Structure 1
Amino acid sequence: MLLARPQTQQFLQHLPIVCCRRHRATTRAMRAVVQRVKRASVTIDEQVVSSIGPGLVCLIGIREGDTQADQEHLSRKLLNFRIWPGDDGKRGWDQSVSQKQYELLLVSQFTLYALAKGNKPDYHLAMPPQRAKDFYLSFLERVRREYVAERVKDGIFGAMMDVSLVNDGPVTIQFDSEKPNGR
């Protein structure tokens, strides 16, 4: 029997596992693709519904099985991750969105859990729309409570949106929440 070193086992448990040639099992976790921006907006039917100045655009993917613990973890990560230089300009990754008092624009995006199935995407890993809407709105309210409500904007759940942004850096990072039990 071949045994991997503990650090290798820890690394391997986070890799996607290919099974049955068509489906891929990954950790169950909320996902956020986060972009540091100079400004951003959401437009629906040629009407701007939300806009921010400097801050973060957060595309939020919600997966079947996500919990309040996932919301808590991801909210903390978004608000506290140091992605800006310090005020002196010398220290690289030194300040978070909350330290800078910048804004966040959250946009629900179920396509973050798309799998390539033949020639079209498969979204079976995403939470079903009505439950996902309730879960997303709960997450949005959590972020607003934990930060400054007026600095947390969002799009319209389920709408076809034009998301415009000026990426600062560019800096784009993907976060997956972690289950409390390590799955």
Structure 2
Amino acid sequence: MRVVLQRVKSASVSVHGNVSGAIGAGLLVFAAIHDNDSSQDIEYIADKIINMRIFADDNGRFDRSLREVDGSLLVVSQFTLYADTRRGRRPSFTGSASSVIAWPLFSDFISKLESFNIIVETGKFGEMMEIQLVNDGPVTIIVDSNDRHMPRHY
């Protein structure tokens, strides 16, 4: 599983001109499911999102988590995060899970995030969406569940 986290002051997602999710301060999460992902990947990413200290303390240091600042989440499915651009000019998305595989895992991911008693808003899985956001920082971080198997320093 791969996510792109953007710290935001506010964000919203619209489908066919109608807002389907909106938050104030928190994180906009673009999430992609790989065809080899499992519930372990969901657990790893959810824990990272909730507990990663990327919000400023009183001294301006990254020392507070989403939970500590009472932030919200806007989660948007985005299979294009697994684009393979190594060959040619058109990206391939063969690493992304098919919707039949991705939807149940994405749904479990949302449920896991909600279990932390944090406001979780979403877009519509598999739909074209329009995203509006006000970045805070900007702070943008990529988290990939495959990285948990890598040494901390390489």
Q: 3-state DSSP class of the match of 2:95? A: coil
Once the two structures are superposed, the pairs formed by residues 168-183 of structure 1 within 5 Å of their partners are 168-178=136-146, 182=149
Matched, 1:62 2:55: no
Q: Give 1:179 shift.
A: 7.2
Q: Shift of the alpha carbon at 1:48?
A: 0.7
Is 1:35 matched up with 2:12? no
Q: CA deviation at 1:178?
A: 3.7
TM-score, normalisation: structure 1? 0.78
1:158 corresponds, among 119, 126, 133, to: 126
**Sequence identity, in percent?**
38
Which consecutive segments of 4 or more residues in structure 1 shift more than 6 A? none
Mapped to 1, the partners of 2:110 and 2:125 lie a distance apart of: 11
Q: Cα offset for 1:104? A: 0.4
Structure 1 residue aligned with 2:50, among 79, 92, 99? 79
- Give, in whole Å, the separation in 2 of the partners of 1:131 and 1:44: 22
Opposite residue 43 of structure 2, the aligned amino acid is: E
Q: Please point out which of 108, 112, 129 is paired with 2:77.
A: 108
Q: Which runs of 5+ in 1 are unaligned?
A: 1-29
Retained in 2: the 8 A contact 1:69–1:179? no
TM-score normalised according to structure 2 size: 0.92
Larger Rg over CA atoms: 1
Q: 1:169 to 1:91 in 2, by over 3 A?
A: closer
Distance 1:115 1:178 in 2: 16
SS in 1 for 2:40: helix
Is residue 125 of structure 1 aligned with residue 125 of structure 2? no
SS across alignment from 1:42? strand
Distance 2:94 2:19 in 1: 31
Equivalent position amino acid for 1:143 in 2: L
CA contact (8 A) 2:33 2:106 kept: yes
Aligned length: 149
Q: Distance in 2 between matches of 1:65 and 1:178?
A: 10
Give me the whole-angstrom Cα distance separating, in 1, the residues matched to 2:28 and 2:44. Answer: 18
